[in-house]
Amino acid sequence: MREIKNIVIVGGGTAGWLTAGVIAARHQARRAQGFTVTLVESPSVPIIGVGEGTWPTLRTTLRKIGVSETEFFRQCDAAFKQGARFNRWTTGTADDGYYHPLMLPQGFAQTNLVPHWLADEDQQSFCDAVTPQGRICDAGLAPKTIATAEYDGIANYAYHLDAGKFSSFLQRHCCDTLGVRHVLADVTNVQLSESGDIDRLETAQGTSIAGDLFVDCTGFAALLIGEALGVGFRACDDVLFCDTALAMQVPYADPKDPIASHTISTAQSAGWIWDIGLPTRRGVGHVFSSSHTSVDDAERALRDYVGPAARDLSVRRLAIRSGHRETFWKRNCVAVGLAAGFLEPLEASAIVLIELSAKIIAEQMPACREVMDTVARRYNDTTSYRWGRIIDFLKLHYALTKRTDTDFWRDNQRAETIPDRLRALMALWEYHAPWLHDEFDRVEEVFPSASYQYVLYGMGHRTRIPPGTFEADAEQAARLRRENKIYTDRLLQGLPRHRSLIDRIVHHGLQPI
């Protein structure tokens, strides 16, 4: 039996170091028996370092690998994220906007509030009717107080962060605390064994690195999974049209300016602009389809959005290749991060896919080579399903639009650009409101049915539910709506300003667990 105990990760950045941390933390007890995690990183290839949005799952991941949330805020220029606000996605008018918050609707496990909200003459926004989080974001408040323990929240939250600082932070933790071996070297050759497995890596610095399981975190280059093992790429640019991003870092006019505690996504003529607030700056970028607008026009739209502050700022241009690998784990190599694929960052899915991949690898680490192919097959099934559902969910934002002002928005509504599964669900949602496990019943779901509710009804969809269908729980629904209003008022009175809490965390720290 060939025991799997030497894990080699090729590539740093968020993908490499987060994967290293998750695997090393999970298998700390095996270090005495010779279990090793080695990360090989090129000293000359910079990380892309643009993505700054995360999911609430990162709180669990950081806690499991032993990171202090206080130190994370201090060293990663981090802020709280409580969801996303989508502006001008439905009609394109100035007052067009809705939230996709991170809190579930009030009493979500008990009652589907959608039918009762649809029947309400008041027509308060769906988000405000079922959760406090949109109001919290509108008020510029944080999701917890300084007295709340690390990783606990009064309202659910994720993070915005500086990707470059985050990678360096993870590197220090992995090497100093978790025992990850860091090798600075340029991989020049991937040596395969007679069986077709990767046997070892040869580097320009003259070192040879052998391993039992290799994790490809080499980004778009995909040196192992793509070049060495020949796994193809499955594009989805016929569904998601955006293929270019322009990014800039925008300083605050005043260092004490408020920090938005949500991502702001503002639709444009051929794409959308993200706006992410960090304590020291904003990260702003334009994601667009080069088939529908020029780079010059896209940059002009970005600078117009930022305003006078953009006059002397440089813009970084990034190519987006929407899609993913045909196979994610082949033989003794598994791709994570950009080596596995990439989709436009509309719902900040990049880092969560790294987390989910690393979690499976760590928890289902093959005991020996003889069972690795079985683990790989299960991993590929789960990961393929997840990528498909993320593509569906991103496309939903475009498919629901009522905008017809440009070819970009008209093309996004064409039936042949909408995946079959999503098109079937959209037909179902004409008469049936999504809830709990009605259509999303697999452990591999990345977006719960609540997320579909927030987008559907935030964008003005009206499910035609037969009258009287939900009269049996009308009283309970009314009670939940009242409770949500009381809870909202209490949080608006009790939560601190977002920047104020971050300043207090940096200077005084949160209560450790």
Task: Summarize pLDDT for 139-190 with one digit per residue, the tens.
Answer: 999 999 999 999 999 999 999 999 999 999 999 999 999 999 999 999 999 9
How large is the average pLDDT for residues 8-32? 97
CATH number of the domain enclosing 175 = 3.50.50.60
- Same domain membership, residue 228 and residue 168: yes
pLDDT tens, position by position, 46-94: 766 565 899 999 999 999 999 999 999 999 999 999 999 999 999 999 9
**Residue 88 lies inside a defined structural domain of this protein:** no
Identify whether the C-beta of residue 283 lies closer than 8 Å to the C-beta of residue 247.
yes
- Same domain membership, residue 287 and residue 299: yes
Percentage of the residues of the chain whose pLDDT score is greater than 70: 97
Provide the pLDDT for residue 502.
98
**Residue 197 lies inside a defined structural domain of this protein:** yes
**Residue 505 lies inside a defined structural domain of this protein:** no
Q: 513 pLDDT band (50/70/90 cuts)?
A: low
For residue 504, what are its two tokens?
């207090």
**Residue 17 lies inside a defined structural domain of this protein:** yes
What is the set of active-site residues?
81
Q: Which value, to the nearest 10 degrees, does the dihedral of the CA atoms of residues 375, 381, 385, 387 take?
A: 70
- Same domain membership, residue 228 and residue 334: yes
- Same domain membership, residue 254 and residue 217: no
**Residue 140 lies inside a defined structural domain of this protein:** no
Specify the number of domains making up the chain. Answer: 2
How large is the average pLDDT for residues 235-258? 96
Report CA 423 to chain centroid distance, whole Å: 24
Percentage of the residues of the chain whose pLDDT score is greater than 90: 92
CATH number of the domain enclosing 248 = 3.30.9.100
Q: Which of 371, 389, 407 is the last residue of a domain?
A: 389
- Same domain membership, residue 383 and residue 251: no
Alpha helices, H only, 280-368: 295-306, 349-363
How large is the average pLDDT for residues 252-281? 97
Q: What is the pTM of this model?
A: 0.96
- Same domain membership, residue 348 and residue 361: yes
**Residue 445 lies inside a defined structural domain of this protein:** no
- Same domain membership, residue 334 and residue 374: yes
- Same domain membership, residue 364 and residue 352: yes
- Same domain membership, residue 329 and residue 315: no
Provide the pLDDT for residue 470.
78
**Residue 13 lies inside a defined structural domain of this protein:** yes
Distance (Å, whole) CA 382 – CA 467: 39
DSSP 141: B
Q: Which of 362, 389, 416 is the last residue of a domain?
A: 389
- Greater pLDDT, 42 or 45: 42
- Same domain membership, residue 313 and residue 199: no
**Residue 406 lies inside a defined structural domain of this protein:** no
Q: 45 pLDDT band (50/70/90 cuts)?
A: confident
pLDDT tens, position by position, 466-511: 887 778 789 999 999 999 999 999 999 999 999 999 999 999 999 8
Question: Is pLDDT above 60 for 353?
Answer: yes
Distance (Å, whole) CA 446 – CA 499: 30
Question: Is pLDDT above 60 for 356?
Answer: yes
The one-letter amino acid at 53: G
- Same domain membership, residue 179 and residue 306: no
Q: Which of 339, 374, 389 is the last residue of a domain?
A: 389
- Same domain membership, residue 211 and residue 338: yes
How large is the average pLDDT for residues 205-214? 96
End-to-end CA distance of the chain: give it in Å, rounded: 41
Distance (Å, whole) CA 333 – CA 316: 32
């280059």: which residue's tokens?
Answer: 221
Domain extent, residue 309, equals 243-319
Question: Is pLDDT above 80 for 213?
Answer: yes
């933390």: which residue's tokens?
Answer: 25
Q: 355 pLDDT band (50/70/90 cuts)?
A: very high
Provide the pLDDT for residue 468.
79
Alpha helices, H only, 364-419: 369-399, 407-412
Question: Is pLDDT above 70 for 441?
Answer: no
Question: Is pLDDT above 60 for 253?
Answer: yes
Question: Is pLDDT above 70 for 121?
Answer: no
Q: Indicate the average pLDDT of the chain.
A: 95
The one-letter amino acid at 101: P
Per DSSP, the residues of 279-341 read SSEEEEEEEE-TTTS-HHHHHHHHHHHH-GGGTT---EEEE---EEES-SEETTEEE-GGGTE
Distance (Å, whole) CA 166 – CA 350: 14
